[in-house]
Amino acid sequence: MPELIRLQTPDFEFSVWANDISQRVKTYHTTVANRISSTSNADADADADGRVGTLNFCANTSKLSYLLRFSPPVQLDNINIFPSNNNQQSNIEQSNSTEKTIEATPKDLVDAASTDKCTEFTLTSPLFFENTQYQFEWVFFGEVTAACLTHRNQNVNDAFRFSTEMKTVRGVVPARLTGTINTGNDVGWLRLPLFFELNGKTHTQHIAFEVLPTKMALHQDLPTMYQAIDKVYPLWRFSLVEKTEQDAATSQQRGHFPLMWMANFAVLRERFEQGLKVICAAPHSRLQPTITNIKAAKLKGPLPHKLAEQIKQDFANGQYDKRYRMEKKQLSVDTPENRFIKMAVERSKRQLAEFETRLRQSNQAPEHQRLSDSFLNELNSWQQPLQKILSQSFLKDVGGCTGLFRESLVLQQKTGYSTVYRVWQELKFYLDIFGSQSSISMKSVAEIYEVWCFLCLKQILEQDLGFELLENNTAKLTQNDFFEYQLKDGFAGAFRFKRSDGVTAKLAHEPKFTKKGKSIRSYLVNQEPDIVLEVTLPKSINPDSGSSEKKQFIWLFDAKYRIKTDKNRFDDSCEDIESIDYVPDDAINQMHRYRDALIRLSEPLSSSTASQPAKKSRPVFGAFALYPGFFDQATKQNPYATAIDEVGIGAFALLPSQTEQDYSGRQWLVEFLKVQIGIMPDIQTRQANETTYSIAGMAEKIYVQEAARIPYHGMHQVLYTDLVMTVALGGQRGRDNSYFKGFDQGTAQWYHLPQSTFLQKFKQHVAEEIRYLALASTSDIQSSTKQIDKIWPIKRVTVLPRYVFTEAQAGKKSDSTDLYYLFELGKPLSLQTAVTNVPHRPMKNSMKLTTLTRLESVTEFSGVEKVYEEAIVL
């Protein structure tokens, strides 16, 4: 395990090891370079239509820095950095200066004094990445008797072990603290709060570094995802304790959210306490009138002339016990400003106490022990200064706060009061004004990416496919025992949509398909795909059956925050996984599992129908992984396009676009859904029957796709069970009359048609689905047209060269090598009313696809209703 960093301070030596990260560094730089290129193109096109340009990510990229942060500032005596296994050293030597931030590179020597203390150290290359295991070690120089990490996450603390100093025959082994952390899917700032006891004194030293994602731009893609999630599920993404923390983005959501309040209080706490100390040292007071009623004998000092005359008159009248109203002004701390300060302290103290009590209770269960004792003790320590303030004697004379009825210059300008007032306003309206000064944990980036993909599909349905949101059945956000927002019972049935053409859609997140499912069932193992899109076409009358039916189609999507990194022995040798982003193999295998496991039942099973099994079918027309691959989707083809077309399994790269008008990150997915579901038709320019026809065509478009027509071996799969092709008989020139008599008398056994003629009209696969031929022979009434009076069942169809046909099969012999369809016919069915006026020159004018029911209901060929429009060659 190669070493990455080694730095020395007067108290310890800190080292970091990891497995070879060169591939992750290369992937990260490729990701950043791709973002620079795409952003440059977006900015170049922004002025053409007056759009606002994107964030200047290109300019910001030149300022990218990879920092080690220290708190409190630390004196660095020596730093060794080992990028790409090339040892280079930066030495910090002595000079005289004050505390400052030191920037160093592996190529340059940075000179500073031993008395200097730095808060940041800049690396020239990223070293810390997601899903990577790192080993950390502190080797102490003094007699350290105890050392540990005091991270909020107990799992992080448990990963470290302290060894005291040992004396051996070979020498002294210094005390050390060693541990391993796998960053997983947590990105952002990972802080390592070190606590150790040296020579009887306690010391703390925080070292922090930023864990970077390799598959997306941390400061470009993630904020875009956060913004999309916050619009629908505000505050869901925040977590109480994870390995890493991020700067919390500004949100417009109002209301009380304890996690955010606590995160902001942690940042503002020192300012809050400092302002309170100033107030306690010099509390504000003002002269306030005091009214008392006392007897004349107790009056002291000079009296107002009017009051003296009143007393003199009362004495003359014999009234010696009368009380007189006296008004005096004296200094008092019971002012509106002090009432406000008392209220702010009491509420902050109460809020923290509630946090601590509830978190300690939630953390007691062994399976829920996420929080470290150091974090809970830290919450308790925050309350001690506030309790000390409340015990101040001057606050005992201060009453309750009933609100501020006017602006107070004391709260706005006086030292101490203005500090507390500003802090309180930030705590009160933290969701609007805290900016990026607070740091709070987020849910893992894998969870973020999954929910963002779900909302991205919702946006595509609304903005690109013309659906309108009808119903939002998402469960309301509720807080768990750790003050985190969760969705009760998941997202099942989250959104329902409808389009003006009657097509409806349901978008669900993580619905569960179980053995007891009534409409869709998983017979063996419960299945829970990330995203399910179900599209239902409006009811239509099927003229073949006379029944009303709905057609439903399901597509599954699974968000995978992973990219293939290792090529297996079965991969194509030309597959370049280093320069092209592929989804991992197991993600594709999971798509096959989903499609095979789910079975639709024709109707819900009930006690009355238990004796007759329900009809089963496979409802999933495609299962696709969504992954953060980067491509120029406007100019390149999806590497999974062929598999999607052939078998309905594959993947779509999905990343946030640069602007709202830019579809570069989701273009492949948008185009796929447009082909499957279509876009909203222009009702104003279409007649009602045309709209209905487009709905039928939509179903046929899905059924006609290659992936939807794959049957089990030895079986055939057709869309229409009584599909009929109308076509005219060939010309009589050169053919034996007995050939045509066979069609007139109903004894014919063969019919042939040039494959080239068929393919000019229909797609090739249709030849195997045709069940009947409606052959048009010469009309008895009009020789220029033909008529259909018989319908011939097809026993078998083969493709053979023309010279193979016998004279009985084709009416004459031929030496042509052109391919022909040879239909073997059964006994014909006679129509009660012949279909007349069938054109036959050229022959393709007589070719239509229809059904038996439709053909029986017309008498003119022009009235024959066509079906299977998607099988027609345009």
Residue 113 in this model has a pLDDT that exceeds 50: no
What contacts 835, CB < 8 A, 6 or more positions away?
726, 774, 776, 787, 788, 789, 855, 858, 859, 860, 861, 864
What pLDDT does 611 receive? Answer: 55
- Select the highest-mean-pLDDT range: 343-347, 461-465, 622-626: 622-626
pTM comes to 0.71
What pLDDT does 137 receive? Answer: 95
Residue 146 in this model has a pLDDT that exceeds 50: yes
Residue range 585-629, pLDDT digits in tens:
899 999 999 888 988 887 644 544 455 667 888 889 999 999 998
- Contact of 526 with 512, CB cutoff 8 Å: yes
Where do the structural domains in the chain lie, given as residue ranges? 3-21+65-214, 250-283+335-435, 286-297+306-332, 450-567+580-699, 714-871
Residue 630 in this model has a pLDDT that exceeds 50: yes
Which single residue is written with the structure tokens 């009584």?
A: 722
488, 489, 492, 497 alpha-carbon torsion, rounded to 10°: -30
Residue range 185-224, pLDDT digits in tens:
888 888 899 999 988 889 999 999 989 988 888 878 888 8
The mean pLDDT of 119-140, rounded to a whole number, is 90
Residue range 26-44, pLDDT digits in tens:
888 888 887 776 655 555 4
What pLDDT does 821 receive? Answer: 93
Residue 56 in this model has a pLDDT that exceeds 70: no
- Please state, for a pLDDT cut of 70, what percent of the chain lies above it: 76
Lowest mean pLDDT among 411-420, 468-477, 770-779: 468-477
What pLDDT does 662 receive? Answer: 56
Fold type of domain 714-871:
2.30.130
What pLDDT does 627 receive? Answer: 92
Q: At what angle do helices 667-677 and 445-463 cross, to 10 degrees?
A: 50
- Please state, for a pLDDT cut of 90, what percent of the chain lies above it: 20
Residue 772 in this model has a pLDDT that exceeds 90: yes
Residue range 737-762, pLDDT digits in tens:
888 889 888 899 999 999 999 998 88
Residue 123 in this model has a pLDDT that exceeds 50: yes
DSSP code string of 462-524: HHTS--EEEEE-PPPEEE-TTS-EEETTTEEEEEEEE-TTS-EEEEEES--B-TT-SSEEESS
The mean pLDDT of 570-583, rounded to a whole number, is 68
User: How far, in whole angstroms, is CA 199 from its chain's centroid?
Assistant: 51
What pLDDT does 577 receive? Answer: 61
Q: What angle do CA 416, 420, 423 make, to 5 degrees?
A: 140
What contacts 749, CB < 8 A, 6 or more positions away?
742, 808, 809, 824, 825
Which long-range CB contacts under 8 A does 459-465 form with residues at least 24 apart?
459/228, 460/666, 460/669, 460/670, 460/673, 461/497, 461/505, 461/507, 461/673, 462/497, 464/670, 464/673, 464/674, 464/679, 465/499, 465/673, 465/674, 465/677, 465/678, 465/679, 465/680
761 to 528, 570, 767: CA distances (angstroms) = 44, 41, 11
**Tell me, what DSSP letter sits at residue 668?**
H
- Contact of 650 with 621, CB cutoff 8 Å: no
- Contact of 627 with 583, CB cutoff 8 Å: yes
Lowest mean pLDDT among 13-27, 247-261, 547-561: 247-261
What pLDDT does 431 receive? Answer: 36
What pLDDT does 541 receive? Answer: 42
What contacts 91, CB < 8 A, 6 or more positions away?
78, 79, 109, 110, 111
The mean pLDDT of 526-531, rounded to a whole number, is 88
Lowest mean pLDDT among 261-265, 309-313, 816-820: 261-265
What pLDDT does 16 receive? Answer: 94
User: How far, in whole angstroms, is CA 773 from its chain's centroid?
Assistant: 52
Q: What does the buried/exposed string (b/e) look like for 654-684 if buried means 16 or more CB atoms within 10 Å of the residue's CB?
A: bbbbbbeebbbbbbbbbebbeebbbeebeee
Residue 53 in this model has a pLDDT that exceeds 80: no
* 717 pLDDT tier (thresholds 50, 70, 90): confident
Residue 447 in this model has a pLDDT that exceeds 70: yes
> Quick one: which of 149, 144, 150 has its CA closest to 176?
144
- Contact of 791 with 724, CB cutoff 8 Å: yes
Beta bridge partners of 860: 836
